[in-house]
Amino acid sequence: MDGKTLGLVGAAAILIAGAVAVRLLPAPRVVSAEEQQQEGPRIVEPMQLLGRGAALRVAELDEWIAEERRPRFRAARDQVFHIRDCPESVAWLDGAEGQRVERLLGELRHGSREEALAALALVFQLARATEWDPGVLASIPEANAARLAGLAADWLRAWGERGARDPLLAEPTRAAALLYGRLMYMAQHSRVIGTNTSAYERGLKTLSELVGLDSGRRTALGESLQSRHPEAMRKLALESDRLRGFDEEARTAFPDLDGECGG
C-alpha cells in the first residue's frame, strides 16, 4: 500500500469513526423562556396577574405603563376589575366603558412587553367577570365567546411569537393560547343541536398558524406549548375535535374561567 492510498484509507477510517461519533451528539435541551435569568427590575410571578387574585396586584402594573397611557390604564383596570353582576361579554364591550377598554387594549398590544402583560391581564379579567357561556335561549349563542376570543387572538398575533421567547411573557403567552382555544371550543359547542363549524374552523386556523402546524415547522409558541401542554398539541394535530385539548388544559389551569363569572 503506497503513501497516497494509505492516506485515503486513513481519511475513510476517520470518516467512519466520525459517523459513529456523531451519533453521540446530545440533543440540545429545550430551555423555556421563563427559565432564563432576567436582570434589573422586573415583574415577578406574572401569572398571578392573570389568576383569580389578579386584583391584588394589578395596580403594580401602573408603573410599567407609558406615561401617556397610564391614566387611561388606571381607569380601565379600575372598570374591568369592578365589573359586577356578570354582564354578557358582548354587551359590556359594546358599552362606553367597554369601547374605551378595547381601544386601550389595542394601544397596549403595540407597547412594551410589560404593557402587553397588562393588556393580557385585562383580557383575562374580562373573561372572568363577564358571561360567555351561551344560554339555551341565546339568539347568537357563540357571540360572547367569539368576541372575547377575538381579543385573545389579537394579542396572540401581536405577541405570540415574541412572547414565547420572552422570560416575562412566556407563561402568559401559553395561557393566552389556552384561553383562546377554550373560548373557541365554547363557541364551537355553543349550539344546543350540532356544532358551529365556522367557529371551529376559525379557531383551528388561528391556532394552527400560531403554533406552526400548517407549515410543518413549529413556531416558538408551538415549541413552548409542546413542552408544557403536549396533550393539547397532540389533540390539535388529530383529525377531528382538535380544539378539545386546549379546552381541557384551560379548564385545568383556570377552573374559574367558566363563562359564568365563577358562578
Give how far the C-alpha of residue 142 lies from the chain's centroid of Cα atoms, to the nearest Å.
20
C-alpha cell at 40: 434589573
For residue 90, the minimal CB distance to another protein (Å) is 25
For residue 91, the minimal CB distance to another protein (Å) is 29
Say how many Å lie between the first and final Cα of the chain, rounded: 87
For residue 121, the minimal CB distance to another protein (Å) is 30
For residue 229, the minimal CB distance to another protein (Å) is 12
C-alpha cell at 43: 415583574
98 or 163: CB nearest another protein: 163
31 or 96: CB nearest another protein: 31
For residue 227, the minimal CB distance to another protein (Å) is 7
77 or 202: CB nearest another protein: 202
25 or 136: CB nearest another protein: 25
110 or 234: CB nearest another protein: 234
List residues near another protein by CB under 8 A: 1, 5, 8-9, 11-16, 18-20, 22-30, 194-195, 197, 213, 216-218, 223, 226-227, 233-234, 236-241
C-alpha cell at 11: 481519511
